[in-house]
Amino acid sequence: MQLRYAYRLAPTPGQQIALARAFGCARVVFNDGLRARHEAREAGLPYLSDGELSKRVITDAKKTPERAWLGEVSAVALQQALADLNTACRNFFASLRGKRKGPKMAPPRFRSRKDNRQTIRFTKNARFAITPGGKLRLPKIGDVAVRWSRTLPAEPSSVTVVKDAAGRYFASFVVQVGEESLPPVEAEAGIDLGLGHFAVLSDGRKIDSPRFLRRAEKKLKRLQRALSRKQPGSNNRDKARLAVARQHAKVTDARREFHHQLSTKLIRDNQAIYVEDLAVKGLARTRLAKSVHDAGWSSFVAMLEYKARLYGRTFHRIDRWFPSSKQCSVCGTNAESMPLNVRFWTCPCGAVHDRDVNAAKNILAAGRAERLNASHTSGRDGARRPGGGQIRPPHQGGKPVEAGSHRGAA
């Protein structure tokens, strides 16, 4: 299993200039390659192969006065920039043909020196190395100081140097690690993600939402107002932009740390984790968009998924249209409607439910059913899936009546 380990870099002023040169050369090669393919398409010429493109925008370009300075940086960084372009083109064409899963891919765009992130990548043939003194040796850049927060578990296969919008430098190593199983436990958890509470577990525990962005809004508003008053193109405007970017970086870092700590704890304490397949993109287009982005559900669920695989746990997403909130976790009866303002409700069977805890219990039951291929109803069509495993207490005889749900009902 491949994982990324990121560490903060502390380049000297001279190394920052060398890195800026490398970022710029990689960006120029990427843009030259994209422009060459656009021009070939407009002229009705065949699609430029990867090898022909590399020869044209790197090998031959270095021999011209206009691009002679490409020789001042590592050739591997330039080749990797072109590899990124080739991958973007292949993904775009595969998406057009319907051969690529997921949302439609946009065509690759030209890179700008004003982009929020500037990156270069070095593979093994670039001969980057970690020196005995703990520095990162990069070709034609030098030995860059690294703030090691932990040791690398294995020798890295590549390293990506990143400069973010806040002006910080990072080294991201790709490392091949083996899966290590944690001691088995009996507990399993269904997780209902929300905004009032970040997560509600099927055992009734509720984890408060830190709301990092909301808490930083007051300071961000002040910094944004200061930025809006600065003259475009001035040094003071650059300083104000950096101040805003640094504040956003603090929010992002705090959210990521919260996600890591919570996901690790849940994986260690539970043998299986079940979550809903949330339509985050759809929710991000509603009036709740800021709160949805502040919660960061997608990154949290992605952490749960890869950590479950890494530590030998089970992770499963239940059907997006499963009516977790309006279905009684005791008898299985579906309520006709369940508006968001209803936080507690009583089922005709007499059970009184906390909306979120009930949803988490239903997610746990549905996740077990889907995982064990048990008989249950799920999806907008309400179809009954094959199987026969028990998913609810045997003394309850109620059956789900309708598995469909309205958008936003959960």
Active site residues: 192, 276, 356
Q: How far apart are the first and last CA of the chain?
A: 35
Is residue 358 a contact partner of residue 194, using CB atoms and an 8 Å limit?
no
Give me the DSSP letters along 169-229: EEEEEEEE----PPPP-S-EEEEEE-SSEEEEETTS-EEE---HHHHHHHHHHHHHHHHHH
From the list 279, 315, 273, 313, the residue with the least C-alpha distance to 297 is: 279
Q: Which two tokens stand for residue 181?
A: 């199983």
Distance CA 261, CA 266 (A): 9
Q: Which two tokens stand for residue 244?
A: 């805003």
State the burial class of residue 364 (Cβ atoms within 10 Å of its Cβ: 0-12, 13-18, 19+).
Answer: buried
Distance CA 325, CA 192 (A): 9
Distance CA 52, CA 221 (A): 50
Distance CA 356, CA 202 (A): 9
Q: What phi and psi values does residue 9 have, to the nearest 5 degrees?
A: -105, 155
**Reduced to 3 states, what is the DSSP secondary structure of residue 290?**
helix
Q: Which 8-state DSSP code applies to residue 84?
A: H
Calculate ∠ Cα 373-304-278, nearest 5°.
70
Distance CA 153, CA 395 (A): 50
Is residue 301 a contact partner of residue 275, using CB atoms and an 8 Å limit?
yes
Distance CA 78, CA 126 (A): 11
Distance CA 339, CA 35 (A): 52
Give the bridge partners for 176, in sequence order. Answer: 2
Q: Which residue has the tokens 């560490």?
A: 7
Amino acid (1-letter code) at residue 46? P
Q: How many CB atoms lie within 10 A of CB 153?
A: 12
Angle between helices 235-269 and 212-229 (to 10 degrees): 170
